[in-house]
Amino acid sequence: MRASFFSSKSVAILVSLVLTTASAALAQQPASSVDSRCSVTVPPPAAGAPGGRAGAPGARGGGGAAAGGRGGAQNPPPITAESTRLTKVRDDVYVIQNVNNVVADIGAFGGNITIYVTDDGVILVDSKNDRMHDDVVAKVRSLTDKPIEYVILTHNHQDHSGGAAKMQQIGASVIISRDDRLHMVRGNQPGLPQFAYSRDAVLFLGGKEVQLKEYCGHTRGDTVVYLPAARVVAVGDLVTTPDSIPQIVNYGDGGNWTDMGKTLDAIAALDFDFMVGGHGPVLTKQEFLQHRDKVAGIRERARVLVKEGRSQEDVAQTLLRELNWGSGPAAGNIPGMMVEFR
């Protein structure tokens, strides 16, 4: 299904009414009833177990750090001018990213935001968290006095979607995949998007085209945002770098390593020069391809180890020793891998 979004606020209000009416019914549907892009279904670990969904709703990996997630900071540090920086990608494309590429700063300062400036307004990809709202708006205002018209969420996790409610309060319309909106409904998250789509959609604003493509990988309904004129792609947590912020999937929200590999291959087929991941620096396409190959190496080595009947501890230690992956948040993915690859 292809949907097109325009800058008419009357259309936004109509869609919002339709989605609000449908939300209660959608929340009662089993995950399998949604038109999913996933080819693999892995039963999520029980709440409170490693890789489950304990902790703050929308945490990146499904729970706090002990559960393999990116849970919010208990006592977040103050926001200063040195917390985030504005990086130019193109004349009309910028990224707000954390200065320090460490897991500890994700709960406090959120994930990356892509800014796309047009003559009729600004499109953001992701929203960080609610405490970062003033910092985000100030950085946008340093580039243009045009309003923030749209916020596209790559997925439902709080470090990317937590600022949506405040963006709506200043007049922005929020867009997400249908599957990940459903996760937000079930998690009782604020800032439910007014727009939802399945499979793909196109947004036009100020003469510029933005393509939205739904994939499965980190969650059941990740959104990849492609800016064809700028040759830039923003992919959320389908790609996270460097090694200090390890790549993981969220089994609790329907993600899995098998489909993430297929998705990274599909992204590689897009015609782009620069990629904005969910966390970490902007990548060239060649840097992304190297990262994709590393992710494939982690997945396939884990698959072999599980098929050999290795213990969970042995799998974790081998991946850490051979590929520098499996500690910290990544440790929370090992139990799910034991199920997915058996």
At residue 177, does pLDDT exceed 70? yes
Percent of the chain with pLDDT over 90: 78
Write the DSSP symbol of residue 278: E
- The answer to whether 255 touches 295, Cβ cutoff 8 Å, is no
Which pLDDT does position 13 carry in this prediction?
Answer: 34
With 0-12 / 13-18 / 19 or more C-beta atoms within 10 angstroms meaning exposed / middle / buried, residue 125 is buried
Which pLDDT does position 92 carry in this prediction?
Answer: 98
Which pLDDT does position 226 carry in this prediction?
Answer: 99
CB atoms within 10 A of CB 288: 21
Question: What angle separates helix 312-323 from helix 285-307, to the nearest 10 degrees?
Answer: 150
At residue 299, does pLDDT exceed 90? yes
Residue 128 to residue 158: CA distance in whole angstroms: 7
| Boundaries of every domain in the chain | 2-283
Closest to 180 in 3D by CA, of 255, 96, 275: 255
Of the given ranges (76-90, 206-220, 232-246), which has the lowest mean pLDDT?
Answer: 76-90
Band (36; pLDDT cuts 50, 70, 90) = confident
Give CA separation, 19 vs 13, 23, 153, in Å. 10, 6, 16
Residue 248 to residue 36: CA distance in whole angstroms: 20
Q: Averaged over 94-106, what is the pLDDT?
A: 97
Q: Determine the CATH number of domain 2-283.
A: 3.60.15.10
- The answer to whether 289 touches 296, Cβ cutoff 8 Å, is no
Strands 2-5 and 121-125, how do they pair?
A: unpaired
Q: Averaged over 307-331, what is the pLDDT?
A: 97
